[in-house]
Structure 1
Amino acid sequence: MPAPPRAPAPAPMTPPTAPLIRLSDLDDAAHAVLDPRAWAYFSGGAADELTLADNRRAWDALRLWPRALRDLRGLSTATTLAGRPLAHPLLLAPVAWHRMAHADGEVGTALAAAAQGAGMILSCQASQPVEAVARALAEPGAGPLWFQLYPLARREDTLALVRRAEDAGCEALVLTVDAPVHGVRDRERRAGFALPPGVGPVHLDGFAPPPPGLEGLLALAPRWDEVAWLAAQTRLPLWLKGVLHPEDAVLAADSGAVAGLIVSNHGGRTLDTAVPTAWALPRMAAALQGRLPLVVDGGIRRGTDVLKALALGASAVAIGRPQVMALAAGGALGVAQMLRLLRDEFTVALALAGCRSPADVHAGLLAEGPGGLPTSTPPAGR
């Protein structure tokens, strides 16, 4: 993806003094310290930002139907994702330019993820190299490091990134498929967004630029044959990020090239009025019938949202904006606090819903509510 022009560096940032009570507190704290251009980039969505708002509303619309008098001894958030043990079902979604938020950058985010046992999906538009991020995550009990890709102008450049991710110890590749071009981001244009000096795409230096013009950019749009080629070039499992339609989910499963799907609308940053992820997730799960694991992102701000996501068929969730808002507000420590708060809220939600672990979460914990999302009767004995 083309790098935007550069702008003056933001003012120095200091951590907030107010305690973190809920994840939405991070928005005000980050807004207070971020350069206006950086704030527009990290907080904004596409066009009228309807999908951005709907992502949050869709989780709020779901109502939980808890069970009582369950045996909660041994309560744990531990789970597995595609066979990989996790301390909890929380991943950090790929977000570009962390050093635009804080000098700690992606390395600080990775240190926080390692301390809290969270997995991290590193953006190929990261402002610090995958090797440094991998070293920060090389801790006992740390979650996996995955590497996110966009198709590059030359296949050999894409392959060079794949080899670099493999050599750094990444456990999976994530191909973003919902952003062949940038969304129409009014907020960024009003703010005159540009990258500050010293912040750039460290993984893309020296590669061929994308072809000029819209037609040139569209030539980079991934296709199913590109997915098959990429899967054949690597020993790492390949996930697709940005799939919303059940028919595409079935095509991914039928291809035999895809290890899992991330149900995502790019945080409402690409196609405005696209469906919210909480609406798409159960339809994807119903179409797949367990053939591929699902991760979901978009608007997740509470531990109850994590519980709802698992009840709708996800194996884990990915957190986007809150990680970079926490980074801006408090550096690596801020990200660690954010993850701990969300994990603690999820633990409480599990207990109050009558679940001893993520494996106990089922669709019957959701009542038919204002969002109209389908539910099912829980299996006998659960």
Structure 2
Amino acid sequence: MISMSPATAVLSGAFIYFAYYFTYYSRKPEFFIKNGTRWARFLENHVSSLKLKYSSLFWVPGGTIQTVVAALLPTKHDVQYRRESVATPDGGQFTIAWTNEKAEEGRPIVFVYPGLVSTTKSKYVQLLTDALVKEDHTVVVMVNRGLELPCLTGKAFCATHTTDLAQALSLVKKRHPQSPIVSIGISLGGLIMARYLAQKGDQSDITAAFLYSCPFNPVEGSANLERWHHWILYNISLTKELKEIYLKSHDKFVGIVDHDKVMSARSIREIDMHFTSKVFGYESVDHYYTDAIISRDFLHSIKTPTLALCADDDAFVPYQALPRDEISSTDYVALAVTSGGGHVSHLCGANPYTTPYYVTMFVDYVQAVLSHLDELPPRQ
């Protein structure tokens, strides 16, 4: 039997943890892109953050808990927006919110499209917007129907519904026709934005796009979230929020969904089973999730320069479901995958209040795009 003093045990444990951490959690991201393309040369030459190591939060490096930690951190930001309601052709409405507006012809615009239950007040939206404003960018945040404004019709939002996003981007472009638009779609917002880019092809209103924690394959993502520990950490709270959102406008969905089944849902999947799939006319939740997959054909239809960032331990975006080979065969899409980082988290270093990795990378990306517009791959 080996005996050691408490001090030796502590030092040995610390050494083992340091070795483990720097072996698995302090690496450059895996990078997937078609070599030799103009897009590959652009990213290599101008987006320096892609070459840096990502050192996941030292005290909580794994993404499962880090995602929760990031969501619970008190926000230090209070970005002020000018909000407006946008009426949709079918009688609905959604929000767009502006900050740091300036009357300059051709001034670049950063368009932010957040995730499932996120609004302009969500912590990561405030954090990201604050960082962009500090770089003197004009920022527009889109918020889906039913989140900041109640639903006016029996239509909400879903992963395959791109009409509202297209309308928001068209509105911004019509008001500022000379302004380049750099966009970021986050989580569900990234999934919808990827579909929009594929549908629009070379007619997209976006100059360059960034997809963060995009769940490219909702079938795999949903199955992973149904695992018991992910259900406890994520599903319980998100399902509660989705029910609260539904209740604000539930009278608009009478005759479309079964109210009691929606209110008895115990997971995001069951919300999508009893609400989302019914509202958007799907035969089943499996039909909806399968239709929402960003397939190889979709990726090859994207003609807007696009960079995606994911973590290899994101519960919503399982590593095995990432379209790494498919992206590596496209001319306009690239994917960076970090060791650790979780879902919409990417805390780093020893201090949880250090600027998250995704914010640093996106700000770097925006600057690279706006400084070298003439080097972006042409749409064709």
Bin the TM-score by the shorter chain. Answer: 0.3 to 0.5
Q: Normalised by the size of structure 1, how large is the TM-score? A: 0.35
Whichever of the two has the greater Rg, that structure is: 2
Say which structure, 1 or 2, has more relative contact order (CA 8 Å, 6+ apart): 1
Q: Normalised by the size of structure 2, how large is the TM-score? A: 0.35
